């Protein structure tokens, strides 16, 4: 059985009869010049060996997930708040944070990016906790940079919440977040399910923190970060009442007044209900949603409600945070915001299969064994909108049964389909459940979001509290494309739900021919995702949308032959769309689109392949300091350390071996 668009169940349409038997092409096809083909084959051989050497004995791959120093700063602030900060941790974190400081004294949120005020404030406070003196040259430079940009008052709300925990900011001067929010029915605007899952998991514990307003003794003053230490909390102007900002600012003022008269029994009951919600969503490894921020705030919230640090819930939560630690050779300690083993493993499997590794290679089979064991077979928060849809997806992380990921599920199915496993019936059943679940998670406009259905309300983004990045999960071109590509491989190109997805993608194309990349940087990622999906679903390479995309990619190719795009394209598309230093992952994405569009013999493809071969390191890997992954567009960026390996290998493999599943193209 499968789910229809509205979540009801119906028969799964049969896919193409030959799809289960199709394996990646392993006989080289005509591709470019002999010289380019030779260097590509050599690069594939080295990259394949490198990637195989990185697989864990259990079958998974995981590269470091690098973000920015706010993760490290907030980890130290959490430990200081709980009274468990030790010298070793503080010094190791300080070593990492100092190493990330820019010449001008600030900290950026991505490699080679501009200084960020909130990140700089948090990094500065963390270094003070690590023992750095305020008059040390690097600290004085940072403080001056902060003051020049308005001081603490100009930092984001979340930064000021951390400061309020130690009395460095007044709770009265923060937006109110009442715990009674937990009682809002699902039909009511601003109920917790109006928020994306990552925001929901963060906001629920923060309602408890907001209600409790704790203050721990500050270990030092922060006068040097204020433009006017005598008036550290200046009154902010109120927006006009006729504007949405003005409406929500006045709503916040009303909530501050409500706080003074909120019935005590109701407030305590709401906080207890929020605590139950939090505890019910703790994963088996002690984390929440497999990501660090909700875990941090959940630990604080439960601690404020009386859970001591030896309580099993708290102990497991703190232990889970330790697992986000990456120790570097120089003794520095970096905190990952999240870990990506399912995503990395399915992408590595696809890359190796498309590069020509035998479909029954033991390491691919082991990867499939591990992925099959990671399937989520119980309902999660997604079932609030789809109560009748049976489970069957995959998450991004090691442990995250509450929030399977539509994107991961599509890519896992594509990976499973490439491997000849010793238990094909088990694989087929898992694929069937994944396809059914993905179909059931289609939003009403025809697209797919990452975690939820129709998570499109504009109200959450307008709350004064929500200035930390994207807080809703609407359909995106990259996720929709991956689902459409998976459905096409499963023989469902002509299914009405797939056609609606195709129509959604065509409507979302930018005037210049590209597509916006929600979860990767940015228009290169979106275009590299959409073109292969449309072609797999049966659009001919001559289709106007495909030709516009090819034309755009050709115009933004760098002089060196590679492609790159700076994260600033999220903030200024006119200046930065498709522009930036060439990177291995983004060059791979561009090549995937061009190859799918039939451009194998084009000069652009040849130059791109040559660039990948020329920049490959002797061990078969590529170096990539630039951030090409996206958490929140512009606000939170990611350097997936495995992207630089899997996407170039996938592109090179398709250049030499041809497109996978060509026999079922178009269903």
Based on the fold, state whether residues 263 and 412 are members of the same structural domain: no
List pLDDT tens digits, range 446-486.
999 999 999 999 888 878 777 777 899 999 999 999 999 99
Based on the fold, state whether residues 410 and 550 are members of the same structural domain: yes
Based on the fold, state whether residues 250 and 295 are members of the same structural domain: yes
Based on the fold, state whether residues 57 and 143 are members of the same structural domain: no
CB atoms within 10 A of CB 263: 10
CB 223 within 8 A of CB 233: no
What's the confidence (pLDDT) of residue 24?
A: 40
What's the confidence (pLDDT) of residue 159?
A: 96
CB atoms within 10 A of CB 233: 15
Based on the fold, state whether residues 283 and 141 are members of the same structural domain: yes
**H or E element in which residue 632 lies:** strand 629-632
Based on the fold, state whether residues 46 and 120 are members of the same structural domain: no
The verdict on residue 25 lying in a domain is no
The verdict on residue 362 lying in a domain is yes
**H or E element in which residue 9 lies:** strand 9-10
Q: Count H helices, E strands: the chain?
A: 24, 7
Give the range of the structural domain holding residue 322, as residue numbers without chain letter: 66-231+245-335
> Tell me, what CATH number does 324's domain have?
1.50.10.20
As beta bridge partners, residue 639 has: 66
Q: What is the CA radius of gyration of the chain?
A: 25
What's the confidence (pLDDT) of residue 32?
A: 57
Mean of pLDDT over the chain: 92
Based on the fold, state whether residues 317 and 331 are members of the same structural domain: yes
Q: Which of 292, 317, 335 is the last residue of a domain?
A: 335
Q: Would you call 229 helix, strand, or coil by DSSP?
A: coil
DSSP 270: H
Based on the fold, state whether residues 171 and 283 are members of the same structural domain: yes
Q: Which of 335, 361, 396 is the last residue of a domain?
A: 335
The verdict on residue 152 lying in a domain is yes
Catalytically annotated residues: 407
The verdict on residue 26 lying in a domain is no
What's the confidence (pLDDT) of residue 663?
A: 62
The verdict on residue 490 lying in a domain is yes
What's the confidence (pLDDT) of residue 31?
A: 53
What's the confidence (pLDDT) of residue 239?
A: 73
Based on the fold, state whether residues 439 and 528 are members of the same structural domain: yes
Based on the fold, state whether residues 250 and 309 are members of the same structural domain: yes
- Number of domains making up the chain: 2
The verdict on residue 5 lying in a domain is no
Q: How far is CA 298 from CA 75, 253, 293, 551, in A?
A: 13, 26, 9, 48
The verdict on residue 7 lying in a domain is no
What is the sign of the dihedral through the CA atoms of 601, 607, 608 and 612?
Answer: positive
**H or E element in which residue 334 lies:** strand 333-335
CB atoms within 10 A of CB 104: 13
Q: What is the rounded distance in angstroms from the CA atom of residue 138 to the CA atom of residue 624?
A: 27
Phi, psi of 638 (to 5 degrees): -135, 140
Based on the fold, state whether residues 50 and 125 are members of the same structural domain: no
pTM (2 decimals)?
0.92
Mean pLDDT per 10-residue segment, the chain (667 residues): 37 37 41 82 98 98 96 97 96 98 97 97 98 98 97 95 96 94 93 94 96 96 91 75 74 84 94 97 92 94 97 96 93 95 98 98 98 96 96 94 96 98 97 98 98 92 78 97 98 98 98 98 98 97 98 98 97 96 98 98 97 97 97 94 98 95 59
The verdict on residue 327 lying in a domain is yes
List pLDDT tens digits, range 81-103.
999 999 999 999 999 999 999 99
Based on the fold, state whether residues 576 and 589 are members of the same structural domain: yes
Q: Which of 289, 313, 335 is the last residue of a domain?
A: 335
């Amino acid at each position: 059985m499968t789910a229809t668009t509205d979540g009801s169940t119906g028969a799964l349409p049969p896919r193409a009869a030959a799809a289960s038997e199709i394996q990646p092409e392993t006989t080289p096809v005509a591709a470019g010049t002999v010289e380019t083909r030779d260097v590509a084959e050599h690069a594939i051989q080295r990259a394949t060996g490198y990637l195989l050497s990185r697989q864990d004995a259990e079958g998974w791959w995981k590269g470091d997930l690098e973000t920015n120093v706010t993760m490290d700063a907030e980890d130290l602030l959490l430990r200081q708040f709980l009274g468990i900060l030790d010298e070793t941790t503080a010094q190791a974190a300080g070593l990492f944070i100092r190493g990330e400081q820019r010449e001008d004294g600030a900290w950026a949120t991505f490699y080679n990016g501009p200084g960020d005020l909130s990140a700089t404030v948090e990094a500065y406070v963390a270094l003070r906790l690590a023992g750095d003196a305020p008059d040390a040259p690097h600290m004085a430079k940072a403080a001056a940079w902060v003051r020049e940009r308005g001081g603490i008052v100009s930092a984001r709300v979340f930064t000021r919440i951390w400061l309020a925990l130690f009395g460095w900011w007044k709770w009265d001067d923060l937006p109110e977040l009442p715990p009674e929010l937990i009682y809002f029915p699902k039909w009511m605007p601003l109920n917790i399910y109006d928020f994306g899952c990552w925001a929901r998991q963060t906001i629920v514990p923060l309602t408890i923190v907001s209600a409790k307003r704790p203050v721990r003794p500050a270990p030092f003053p922060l006068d040097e970060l204020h433009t006017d230490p005598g008036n550290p909390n200046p009154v902010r102007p109120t927006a006009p009442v006729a504007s949405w900002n003005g409406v929500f600012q006045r709503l916040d003022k009303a909530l501050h007044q409500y706080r003074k008269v909120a019935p005590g029994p109701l407030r305590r009951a709401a906080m207890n209900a929020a605590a139950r919600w939090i505890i019910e969503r703790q994963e088996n490894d002690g984390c929440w949603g497999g990501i660090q921020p909700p875990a941090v705030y959940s630990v604080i919230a439960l601690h404020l409600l009386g859970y001591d640090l030896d309580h099993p819930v708290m102990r497991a939560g703190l232990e889970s945070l330790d697992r986000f630690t990456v120790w570097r050779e120089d003794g520095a300690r970096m905190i990952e915001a999240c870990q990506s083993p399912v995503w990395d493993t399915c992408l590595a499997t696809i890359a190796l299969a498309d590069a020509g590794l035998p479909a029954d290679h033991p390491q691919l089979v082991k990867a499939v064994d591990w992925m099959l064991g990671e399937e989520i077979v119980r309902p999660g928060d997604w079932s609030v909108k789809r109560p009748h849809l049976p489970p069957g997806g995959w998450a991004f992380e090691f442990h995250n049964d509450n929030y399977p990921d539509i994107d991961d599920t599509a890519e896992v199915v594509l990976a499973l389909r490439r491997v000849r496993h010793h238990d094909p019936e088990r694989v087929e059943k898992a694929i069937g459940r994944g396809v059914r679940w993905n179909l059931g998670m289609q939003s009403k406009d025809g697209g797919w979001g990452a975690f939820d259905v129709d998570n499109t309300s504009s109200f959450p983004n307008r709350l004064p509290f929500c200035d930390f990045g994207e807080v809703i999960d609407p359909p995106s071109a990259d996720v929709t494309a991956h689902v459409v590509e998976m459905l096409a491989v499963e023989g469902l190109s002509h299914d009405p739900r797939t056609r609606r997805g195709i129509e959604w993608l065509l409507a979302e194309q930018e005037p210049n021919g590209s597509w916006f990349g929600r979860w990767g940087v940015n228009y290169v990622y979106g275009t590299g995702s959409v073109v292969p999906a449309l072609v797999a679903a049966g659009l001919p390479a001559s289709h106007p949308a495909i030709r516009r995309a090819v034309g755009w990619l050709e115009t933004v190719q760098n002089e060196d032959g590679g492609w790159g795009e700076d994260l600033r394209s999220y903030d200024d598309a006119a200046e930065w769309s498709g522009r930036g230093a060439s990177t291995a992952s983004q060059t791979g994405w561009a090549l995937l689109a061009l190859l799918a569009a039939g451009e194998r013999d084009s000069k652009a493809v040849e130059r791109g392949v040559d660039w990948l071969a020329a920049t490959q390191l002797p061990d078969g890997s590529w170096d990539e300091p630039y951030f090409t992954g996206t958490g929140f567009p512009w606000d939170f960026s990611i350097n997936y350390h495995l992207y630089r390996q899997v996407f170039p290998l996938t592109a090179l493999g398709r250049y030499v071996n041809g497109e996978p599943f060509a026999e079922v193209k178009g269903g």
